[in-house]
Amino acid sequence: TNAPILHVGGYGGIVIIARTTSSTMATSVGGRVVLALSSAARKIGKSLDSMGASMEVAKYTEKLVPSTRFVAVDGVAPFISETAAFVAPSANVIGNVSMGPNSSVWYGATVRGDV
């Protein structure tokens, strides 16, 4: 088909956007230029990234804690209404808890029903 396609390429803060059709992308001069620039930008970005990593004095790898948003206790899992407004990614809902309609649990909060 000749449906328009939006191509976005780049790496390391350089973004190249071109709107083409699938049949002309590989053959048109503009398509080849966009592909070449995208590839070059990606290579430059990777080189800058590796250069920056080699210059680090104190290497640190961030370790993320696996999500414990909803935890069952003694076989009883939290009940969350389908119309509950919001449960933050960093919130914990543990045990025999029922969240009704239009309720929410915000960032860093813990709701426990196991005590």
Report the percent of the chain where pLDDT is more than 90. Answer: 10
Query: What distance in Å separates the CA atoms of residue 17 and residue 10, rounded to the nearest whole number?
Result: 9
Residue ranges of alpha helices (H) inside 4-69 are: 22-25, 29-54
Answer whether residue 7 shows pLDDT above 50. no
Q: What is the CA radius of gyration of the chain?
A: 24
48, 12 contact by CB (below 8 A):
yes
Residues 40-63: pLDDT tens digits? 999 999 999 889 888 888 877 777
Rounded to the nearest integer, the mean pLDDT of the chain is 77
Q: How is residue 85 annotated by DSSP?
A: -
